[in-house]
Structure 1
Amino acid sequence: MHIQVQIGQELLTAAVDDTPAGRDLMTQLPQTIEMIDHGGVEKTGPLRAPLDLDGQPDGADPDVGDLGYYAPGNDLVLYYGDQSYDAGIVVLGRLDDTAASRLAAMDGDITTTLTAAPAGAS
């Protein structure tokens, strides 16, 4: 499963894991999210509905470039810096190879539109 993340003129892609949470995310697309910057490491914004956490660990230590979900805030998270382990973090998938550096270059808050990638796109 793949998604496109449109931020202004920037188009990022992400591979979404085939998990209950990942499949739930896909059912919510398309969706536009107002995201805020947290500590120069991540952009976060609320999804319309909580994701299914069945089978997910209690927390995670996401890598730079991960696509995540912060369950306590119902937030989608784009990781572009180093974030440590936290309870409530779920890694949903992986952003494309250049996404983290492009996100790091975007100062402050952003508006992003998520859509399912066309078949065959990665």
Structure 2
Amino acid sequence: MSLASVAVIGVIEAQTMNNAPHETSSHRDLRKLSGQKIVIRVGDKAFTVELYDNDTAKDLVSRLPLTLNANNYPGYDEKIIRLPSALSMKGAPRGDEPEIPEVGYYAPGQWVALYYGPIGYWPGKVPLGRIHARVEQIHTIPDHTPVTLERATD
């Protein structure tokens, strides 16, 4: 095998490894629904979130109810809700590319995010659940708005 062939194989392997987090079965497993739901209340609106079956989502539920502020994340299509303390990252992926619309957790910033547009793959992101809201509804949540996260009663 020539040196050029080895170099091409190395580039292909590197590209494959860069795409690996998006294609692994453990990544898909994090989007299996748990059957548990929470509600995010913003003013007179309420959005149901069907939670995924992962330890980060379970940790969030164990801390509810919470009332915190939602803020715009400048330059990205997401609203963020900073938590007072970090959620569990047990069994979490190295990162994630959120689906739209979706709720996720960003460990380095210690916030729950409501995604309303593509933001790409980021290390430290964990999918939490499917939000039943239109993209426009999430996008129009005003900056510094109090939101309540609570367990669904139904």
TM-score (norm 1): 0.89
Matched with 2:106 is 70
Q: Alpha-carbon deviation of 1:107? A: 4.0
Moved more, 107-116 or 85-94: 107-116
Q: How many percent of aligned residue pairs carry the same amino acid?
A: 31
* Paired AA for residue 124 in structure 2: G
Tell me the distance in 2 between the aligned counterparts of 1:3 and 1:52. 18
Q: Alpha-carbon deviation of 1:40? A: 5.2
Cα offsets for 1:38-74 (capped at 9, x unmatched): 2351011211221111111110000111110010011
CA-based RMSD of the aligned residues comes to 1.4
Tell me the distance in 2 between the aligned counterparts of 1:103 and 1:52. 25
Structure with more contact order per residue of length (Cα contacts < 8 Å, sep ≥ 6): 1
Tell me the distance in 1 between the aligned counterparts of 2:106 and 2:124. 6
Q: In the alignment, does 2:44 pair up with 1:21?
A: no
CA contact (8 A) 1:40 1:104 kept: no
Q: In the alignment, does 2:130 pair up with 1:94?
A: yes
Moved more, 99-108 or 45-54: 99-108
> Which structure has greater helix proportion?
2
Runs of 5+ unmatched residues, structure 1: none
Choose 1 or 2 for highest CA Rg: 2
TM-score (norm 2): 0.72
Tell me the distance in 1 between the aligned counterparts of 2:135 and 2:116. 4
Tell me the distance in 1 between the aligned counterparts of 2:122 and 2:90. 18
CA contact (8 A) 1:64 1:79 kept: yes
Q: In the alignment, does 2:72 pair up with 1:48?
A: no
Find the partner of 1:58 among 78, 81, 94.
94
Tell me the distance in 2 between the aligned counterparts of 1:49 and 1:79. 21
* Paired AA for residue 12 in structure 1: F
> Which structure has greater strand proportion?
1
* Paired AA for residue 139 in structure 2: A
Q: In the alignment, does 2:49 pair up with 1:7?
A: no
* Paired AA for residue 115 in structure 1: E
Tell me the distance in 2 between the aligned counterparts of 1:33 and 1:100. 21
Runs of 5+ unmatched residues, structure 2: 1-35
Q: In the alignment, does 2:116 pair up with 1:116?
A: no
